[in-house]
Amino acid sequence: MRTTAIAMLSAVMTAAAAAGEEPVKLKQAPGLDKVEANCAACHSLDYVQMNSPFLDGAGWKAEVAKMINAYGAPIGPDDARIIADYLEANYGK
């Protein structure tokens, strides 16, 4: 009984915390569809905005390569280029 009550309370608190969260809206530009489809499949798009003050074009290319090579993101070479170009053009320093 106590375990059920704790589980229900946790679920209610989690839902309440997430209810006020706004989805991240990235800049409308060519390549956004690839970013949303590929990047958001594994993590929040908040990471794009959080990293933008630190990454230039080379940094974004390295970040996309890291997601593919280190984390196994299933992104093909053409999409990887489009994603890196979008990030550099819209969120590069």
| pTM of the predicted model over 0.85 | no
Q: Give the number of other CB atoms < 10 A from CB of residue 3.
A: 7
pLDDT reported for residue 24: 84
**58 lies in a domain?**
yes
Residue with the two structure tokens 């090579």: 69
Going residue by residue through the chain (93 aa), what tens digit of pLDDT does each one get? 666 656 555 655 555 455 566 788 999 999 999 999 999 999 999 999 998 889 999 999 999 999 999 999 999 999 999 999 999 999 998
**38 lies in a domain?**
yes
**13 lies in a domain?**
no
Q: Which domain holds residue 63?
A: 24-91
59's tokens = 């940094």
- What is the CATH classification number for the domain harbouring 68? 1.10.760.10
User: What is the torsional sign of CA 28, 44, 12, 20?
Assistant: negative
**7 lies in a domain?**
no
**43 lies in a domain?**
yes
**Total structural domains within the chain:** 1
For the stretch 41-48, contacts whose Cβ atoms lie closer than 8 Å and that sit 24 or more positions apart, written own/partner, are 41/73, 42/67, 42/71, 42/73, 48/24, 48/87, 48/91
**61 lies in a domain?**
yes
**12 lies in a domain?**
no
**15 lies in a domain?**
no
